[in-house]
């Protein structure tokens, strides 16, 4: 009969020796054929019981119905956020702030902003960087004020010469309120365009520098020739050449206006109240110069007011009043915000300019019907 410390019964009731149990509990240890000490048998038997009570971590529920320990969820690592350079972040902030401020602008403020973007001169306008500063902090420095005035003088003189050649650069705001850059045609550019349009008209489309394919058929050639001849007369001869001369005169006037600005900036500009007064007077003065040169014959506004819609069958004045605020189909409206305020003041100014021209012609005696006295 076996002692309880030397044997135990298996699942089928078979009697197992302690040596066999120890070989199972300690795999990899080969039996030596000699019976181990009783104390060693008790330790191996206890190891076997401990391993039987342990359950694998993959089991859901053990035989007693106990739930396994909750698994620790894996740590989720979020992908690294790409860093944004300071310059790009600053530009994005400027664009968002500009778009937000544009939505709050009145029609008058939009008109003033458009006019100060056209040519150098605005105190807070940096046209080269396409930025408008909210605060006039840089103007506290004496040299910064004088340097800005002289830079504006040089910029307007440069634009005057460019308008005599192939055109100068202008700035404008698009539909999103961002400042963009464009180029207006100069005197030499208008002359070159005039010659090209005349050559296209006389050749009935055989010479077509502005289109990859020329017209085909007698009807298309005739219409193309008439269209090129109209552009040569209206857009180049009457519009382009006179407009470029108008722009040249405007830039020379603004250059003199900026030169005069040096005096108050060098004196009362040393005080905060003096700087504010100088900015108000000279910025508003530039807007007045822009307006007066726009509404006289050959000015940008005068051409818009007298434009007619041949396809839409709309008469002059009416055609401009019906135009939307943003229109990209014609360069006369492409670089402005044609708000109701702008339409009203430009229409009134252009019609008054027409009346003054008619009155002036009448005063010269050209159309009065009076005979001149004979010369002795």
In this prediction, residues 331-360 reach a mean pLDDT of 95
Is residue 76 in a domain?
no
Lowest mean pLDDT among 90-104, 134-148, 202-216, 247-261: 90-104
Q: Domain limits at 172? A: 109-264+273-295
Is residue 346 in a domain?
no
Q: How far apart are CA 85 and CA 94, in angstroms?
A: 14
Domain count of the fold of the chain: 1
Is residue 79 in a domain?
no
Q: How far apart are CA 376 and CA 374, in angstroms?
A: 6
pTM above threshold 0.85: no
Is residue 221 in a domain?
yes
Q: Which stretches within the chain are classed as H helix?
A: 18-25, 38-53, 86-103, 107-118, 142-164, 187-202, 217-230, 241-260, 262-266, 272-295, 300-305, 318-321, 331-334, 340-363
Is residue 141 in a domain?
yes
Interval 284-329: pLDDT, tens:
999 999 999 999 999 999 999 999 887 778 899 999 999 999 998 8
Is residue 218 in a domain?
yes
Is residue 242 in a domain?
yes
Instruction: Return the bridge partners of 181, or none.
Output: 171
Instruction: Return the bridge partners of 8, or none.
Output: 16
pLDDT exceeds 80 at position 87: no
Is residue 329 in a domain?
no
């Amino acid at each position: 009969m076996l002692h309880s410390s030397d044997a135990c019964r298996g699942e089928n009731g078979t009697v197992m020796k302690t040596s066999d149990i120890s070989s199972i509990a300690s795999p990899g240890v080969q039996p030596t054929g000699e019976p181990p000490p009783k104390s060693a048998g008790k330790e191996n038997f206890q190891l076997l019981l401990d391993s039987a009570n342990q359950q694998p971590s993959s089991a859901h529920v053990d035989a007693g119905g106990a739930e396994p320990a909750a698994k620790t969820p894996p740590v989720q690592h979020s992908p690294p956020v790409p860093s944004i350079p300071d310059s790009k972040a600053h530009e994005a902030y400027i664009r968002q702030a500009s778009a937000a401020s544009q939505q709050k602008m009145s029609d008058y403020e939009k008109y003033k902003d458009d006019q100060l973007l056209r040519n150098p001169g605005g105190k807070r306008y940096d046209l080269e960087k396409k930025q408008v500063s909210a605060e006039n902090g840089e103007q506290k420095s004496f040299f910064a004020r004088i340097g800005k005035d002289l830079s504006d003088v040089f910029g307007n003189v440069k634009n005057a010469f460019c308008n005599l050649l192939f055109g100068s650069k202008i700035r404008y705001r698009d539909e999103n309120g961002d400042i963009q850059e464009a180029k207006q045609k100069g005197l030499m550019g208008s002359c070159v365009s005039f010659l090209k349009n005349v050559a296209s008209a006389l050749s009935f489309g055989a010479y077509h520098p502005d289109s990859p394919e020329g017209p085909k058929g007698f009807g298309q050639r005739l219409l193309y020739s008439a269209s090129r001849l109209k552009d040569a007369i209206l857009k180049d001869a009457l519009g382009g050449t006179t407009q470029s001369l108008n722009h040249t005169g405007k830039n020379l006037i603004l250059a003199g206006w900026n030169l005069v600005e040096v005096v108050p900036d060098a004196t009362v500009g040393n005080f905060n109240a003096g700087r504010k007064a100088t900015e108000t007077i000279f910025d508003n003065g530039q807007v007045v110069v822009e307006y007066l040169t726009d509404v006289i014959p050959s000015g940008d506004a005068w051409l818009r007011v007298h434009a007619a819609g041949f396809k839409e069958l709309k008469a002059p004045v009416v055609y401009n009043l019906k135009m939307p605020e943003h229109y990209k189909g014609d360069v006369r409206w492409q670089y402005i915000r044609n708000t109701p305020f702008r339409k009203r003041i430009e229409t009134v100014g252009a019609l008054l300019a027409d009346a003054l021209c008619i009155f002036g012609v009448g005063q010269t005696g050209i159309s009065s019907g009076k005979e001149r006295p004979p010369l002795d």
